[in-house]
Structure 1
Amino acid sequence: MQRIYELEDHTKLCAEMSSIMSLLHEGIVNDPQNLYLLASDTEEGEKISRILKAYFQPMFRHVHTFSIENLNGEKTELFRDEGLRNLVKVIVQIVRVVPGREEECVINATGGYKAQISFAGLIGQVLKIPVYYLFEGFASVISLPEMPVFFDYKIWLKHFQLFRDLYQLGVISTKLLPERTDLSALKGA
């Protein structure tokens, strides 16, 4: 670990380390209280999580690690149906416990599977939290711009039962949709 600390150029580290160091060096994270590391539930994910925790413990007041169940490439269906959902659940749970999250919280979408980047970006946008990413070859992180989508809480609350049913079923059934729902666009009409 000491040899890693002695490196002057943080861009020579792995993507996860480089991006977090960039967040610190650029003052994006200027009061390093809590660092939450999310890892896939594999041996490699657990090992990397332990290394990252040991590396960042001297820099943050608390370093928390989470293993995300089924967020691995072993079973495609479980990754799609459960792993990505579990990732979203854990991020949302973490954000809920961060005091003053608007001022204190950022999401670092660097590292892991590519699908995670899009989910992290969307979570950040919905929860109004800045999302950063370190592209390979860049010297520092960039803030991901907001996507041209809008999350309307009123619509979500109005159709909460439908969304809950869809989530539990894992499929979309037209029988669950209100009778007045226009599906002609889906039929190419």
Structure 2
Amino acid sequence: MVKTIICSVGTSAAKKLGVKPNELLNWVNEKNSMEDAVECLFSTFRNLVSEDQNLKSSLSAEIHSLVRIGITNEDQIVLLSSNTNDGYCCALAVKKYLEYYWKGIGVLVKKIPGLQVYDAETFRKTGVVEFVKFILKQVESYDASNIILNPTGGYKALVPYTVLLGMLKGIKCDYIFEQSTTLLELPPLPLEFKRGQFEAYKPLFEEIDRESSISLEKWQNSVDYLERKWFDPLVEISSEGVTLSALGFLFWEEIRKPSALVPFLSRNAIADCFDNLALLDNCDPFRFLSRVAGSKLAFSQAEHLNMGNGLRWLKPGNTTDRYLVSIEDWRLLVWRAIREDQEGSKYSNKIKIDDPEADRRSYSPFIRMEFVN
């Protein structure tokens, strides 16, 4: 399966250069061009094949972790570098190495504005925010189920943001811990937050997002004093006004346009899965529902019949299992799970819900899927 791996990139590609880390920027700037600096840096590790000892002691942290992930020449690699010439040079050198040993692999290098170590305020207010924004754009462009976040290289301060983003978007994080040679995997975890508390101030956050900031006076007049502490991690407050922090932007994106749904099964669907679909070979209804809930593309590909009242029948593929579902905010409600070989090809006329709101009582309760299986 083709993977898209998004990596933060540091300067460990320069470890064989013989230049001290605090002198690397001057070394790059003294070259005739960025191309010359990249070629010179790449030459220090071009001939180092990706074997165990080289991975641990000679090659960069990004190459080490990508090899452990198991990349192929069909994968897409996105390298996120700092906004400094030394970090950008290292990212481009890593790109050349990947393209040299994995012919045909797709590699994109993106310089992130504000990502540097010289100004902590710029790093926090601009660098981390732009880092999160760019990853979110990548998640929208690719199937989230095929994305891996790799925060091994680059600034350690980005790791918690990357992990949290993976939790919110249902994306796996893989990284090499310190001097270890073992790839650590953080699977996509079910994470929820107090949406109601955030949505109560949705118009205010819409204005901040639209205008980039609001006045401190407006913020204080709009947000209850007792709730401001809850919002502290989500905003940046300065004499210029109130803006969204990196965490605030991430949470706002999740509220504004959630990309993942959470499956909830009716008592009828639970019985269908355990008493009927479980009898089929190679049928895993819970895995299928997780996949379509986590990806808009997977959901659209599985949509088989639109019943016109918010209800849809989903079809996994060339199989007999069918699922009657609807979407309610961030929930994927699963009403029934049936077998076409039992119900017949006209099952959608036989098993109908004419008024979901009126019929809901007879299907309740809807149980969150991880509490079912």
1:81 to 106, 125, 129: 125
SS at 1:106's partner residue?
strand
Task: Indicate the percent of aligned positions where both proteins have the same amino acid.
Answer: 24
The answer to which structure has the higher strand fraction is: 2
Structure 2 segments unaligned to the other structure (5+ residues): 1-44, 230-373
1:46-88 CA distance string (max 9 Å, x none): 1101111001124262100100001101222111111100000
2:56 is matched by which residue type in structure 1? T
Structure 1 segments unaligned to the other structure (5+ residues): none
Report the CA distance shift for 1:5/1:77 in structure 2 as closer, same or farther (over 3 A): same
How much has 1:158 moved relative to structure 2?
5.3
TM-score, scaled to structure 2: 0.42
Report the CA distance shift for 1:138/1:95 in structure 2 as closer, same or farther (over 3 A): same
1:92 to 136, 159, 162: 136
Identify the structure with bigger relative contact order (alpha carbons < 8 Å, sequence gap 6+). Answer: 1
The answer as to 2:121 corresponding to 1:69 is no
Q: What's 2:69 paired with?
A: 23
Does the 8 Å CA contact 1:34/1:61 hold for their aligned counterparts?
yes
1:174 to 220, 224, 227: 220
Does the 8 Å CA contact 1:126/1:151 hold for their aligned counterparts?
no
The answer as to 2:161 corresponding to 1:116 is no
Q: Aligned partners of 2:96 and 2:73: how far apart in 1?
A: 19
Larger Rg computed on CA atoms: 2
The answer as to 2:79 corresponding to 1:37 is yes
1:144 is matched by which residue type in structure 2? L
How much has 1:8 moved relative to structure 2?
4.8
1:56 is matched by which residue type in structure 2? L
1:41 is matched by which residue type in structure 2? N
1:107-132 CA distance string (max 9 Å, x none): 00111111110110111111100011
Does the 8 Å CA contact 1:81/1:170 hold for their aligned counterparts?
no
Report the CA distance shift for 1:170/1:3 in structure 2 as closer, same or farther (over 3 A): farther
Report the CA distance shift for 1:16/1:32 in structure 2 as closer, same or farther (over 3 A): same
Q: What's 1:131 paired with?
A: 173
TM-score, scaled to structure 1: 0.79
SS at 2:174's partner residue?
strand
Q: Aligned partners of 2:120 and 2:215: how far apart in 1?
A: 16
How much has 1:140 moved relative to structure 2?
1.9
Report the CA distance shift for 1:31/1:141 in structure 2 as closer, same or farther (over 3 A): same
CA RMSD of aligned residues (A): 2.9
Q: Which sits farther off after the overlay, 106-115 or 165-174?
A: 165-174
Q: Aligned partners of 1:183 and 1:2: how far apart in 2?
A: 58
Q: What's 2:30 paired with?
A: none
